[in-house]
Structure 1
Amino acid sequence: MTSYHQVTGGLPPQTSLMTGRAVFTEAYAFIPKGCFSDIVTSCLPGWSRTRLWLIARPMSGFSETFSQYVMEVQPGGGSDAPDAEAGAEHWLFFTGGLATLTVDGQGTEMEAGSYAYIPPDAHWTLWAEGNVPARFHWLRKLYEPAPGVAVPEHFTVNERDVAVRFMPDTGDRWGTTRFVDPEDVRHDAHVNIVTFQPGGVIPFEETHVMEHGLYVLEGKAVYKLNKDWVEVEAGDFMWLRAYCPQACYAAGPGRFRYLLYKDVNRHARLRGPWLGR
């Protein structure tokens, strides 16, 4: 049985201590679930009956490739023009409620566990249905075309229909639900779900150029972020810049799972506006 953390907002009482677990450093940001309050929600042009928590955006000197939202769309709400950003590709992962996602005329009912990839410049709409809000994570990135490489097609799937691919020699304690083939270079980023069984670990400090957004869907663990071991639980978000060392020990009584973004499959850019050419 899979369950996903639901962000519901609200405000803590005036009697609460203000000291929490939030951290922003030169290498990572950690946003605990208690920071997802009503006072940090936002609205979007073209969306009705909708609010969101904007938890990552490109920021010079930090993570620069993607944005990430936690969306709450009330029944009957949604959009016929979700995003005016030309060239943006999108990933949606649903944690609750019902919605109809239509991409280039193809409609799909989305529910908890549903995943969608939407290619750049596709026409899409989303409208919530049912009696409870549709809740989903929305990640956006400017697609990086490559010579001779086709743009990926739109697809939808539910994670329950995708087998977990376990890392070798881990006793099936550390695995990834991969929604696209890692060798499919049409995709310039991956949004997957990582699962640890109790006692599973990342047994070394991963240090790499890829940026990460990690939203904890289920369970708890201790996570190594740069120089710090940080306790994390369902509803927390970790935002890692390139080269931030990272490791994990799943210390809770149940599974530990998170939604993971990373940029892949493209050359490093050698020219840009900052070089004047």
Structure 2
Amino acid sequence: MSKHSYAFPPAGLPDQNQRTVDRAVFKTAYAVVPGSVMRDIVTSRLPHWHATRAWILARPMSGFAETFAQYAMEVAPGGGSERPEPDPTVESVLFVVDGGLTLTLEGKAHALIPGSYVFIPPGADWHLHNDTADPAHFQWIRKAYEPADGIPAPAAFVTHDDDVTPEPMPDTEGVWATSRFVAADDLRHDMHVTIVTFQPGGVIPFSETHVMEHGLYILQGKAVYQLNEDWVEVEAGDFLWLRAFCPQACYAAGPGPFRYLLYKDVNRHPRLPGAPSLAAT
């Protein structure tokens, strides 16, 4: 079992005495989807998945974030899929937040537990099943892989949060650190999915403003987060969705660590209108 804990949406449906106002907001530069609004009535069933439902947290949208989709997945006992990915050009990261799953990846079985991290390259053969007596939950991030001429596609791998040593950010004395599952200079990869950890009181001490899009799923703790011109309070189970160049910063405000799973697109030229495929240049 992992030394960390990971949040997942509560599902269900609030009773009629619950207030209707929540922290959910969608703006031109960002969206906040609190865990408290991820309820049964907003789930999707996916083709070729059995006894499984998904909260689709992000999908490509013109004029907003366009590079990825992200799901919160719930697999009931006996559920899963022999055909999980419909598109052979898509790469994925799976991150298990609770329960147990059996992954078969390129013919090899892997027992996944909370904290398991899986990278699946485009075209890989994989299956996923819940053979336990309890529901299992995981985050699933999907991106259309962008090949680069002369650079091979990345290989599949399975690892665990506890097996990756967080790298402290410079001059932070370890209060801000990043668990990198892929080397930053590995140009086979066109996306990074990392875990960022702030100890109480840790901050991003400037407004990051950059080309990368973000899906930011909060695994643990709470913070006050800058999103464009706003500061919002966020906590475990919330999802933040940021378009390119949305200014962002963070102040870890809770009594314990603040941790989130972070997607960003990296290591490729921006596509230009009318330009040929970058894979051939």
TM-score, normalized by length of structure 2? 0.96
**Residue 272 (structure 1) shift:** 5.0
Partner of 1:196: 198
Q: 1:95–1:113: 8 Å Cα contact kept in structure 2? A: yes
CA shift for structure 1 position 76:
1.0
Q: Which amino acid aligns with 2:79?
A: G
Does residue 22 (structure 1) correspond to residue 24 (structure 2)? The answer is yes
Tell me the distance in 2 between the aligned counterparts of 1:245 and 1:20. Answer: 23
C-alpha displacement at 1:8, in angstroms?
3.4
Alpha-carbon contact 1:97-1:129 (below 8 Å) kept: no
Instruction: Give the equivalent residue in structure 1 for 2:278.
Output: none
Alpha carbons 2:152, 2:188 under 8 Å: kept: yes
CA deviations 1:79-118 (Å, max 9, x no partner) are 0000111300010000111111111111111110000000
Q: Kindly state the Cα deviation for residue 271 of structure 1 after the two structures are TM-superposed.
A: 3.2
Tell me what 1:93 maps to.
95
1:55 aligned onto 2:74:
no
Q: Which residue number in structure 2 is paired with residue 170 of structure 1?
A: 172
Q: Any gaps of 5 or more consecutive residues in structure 2?
A: 276-281
Q: For 1:193-240, what per-residue CA distance to the aligned partner results, in whole angstroms no more than 9, with x for missing partners?
A: 000000100000000010000010000000000000000000111000
Q: 1:71 aligns with which of 66, 70, 73?
A: 73
Aligned partners of 2:168 and 2:176 also within 8 Å: yes
Q: Which residue of 2 aligns with 1:244?
A: 246
Which moves more between the two structures, 95-104 or 154-163? 95-104
Q: Which amino acid aligns with 1:137?
A: Q
> Structure 1: which 5+ residue stretches go unaligned?
none
Residue type at the aligned position of 2:108:
Q
Distance 1:152 1:72 in 2: 27
- Tell me the SS of whatever aligns to 2:55: strand
SS at match of 2:162: helix
Identity of counterpart residues, as a percentage?
60
The letter for the 1-side match of 2:142 is R
CA offsets per residue over residues 133-152 of structure 1, 9 Å max, x none? 11100000000000000100
2:268 & 2:111 partners in 1: Cα distance?
32
The CA distance in 2 between the partners of 1:263 and 1:96, in whole Å, is 26
What is the aligned partner in structure 2 of residue 268 from structure 1? 270
* SS of residue in 2 equivalent to 1:145: coil
Q: Which residue of 1 aligns with 2:40?
A: 38
Moved over 3 A (4+): none
CA RMSD of aligned residues (A): 1.0
1:104: which partner in 2? 106
TM-score of the aligned structures, taking structure 1 as reference length = 0.97
Q: Aligned pair in 2 of structure 1 residues 64, 272: CA closer, same or farther (>3 Å)? A: farther
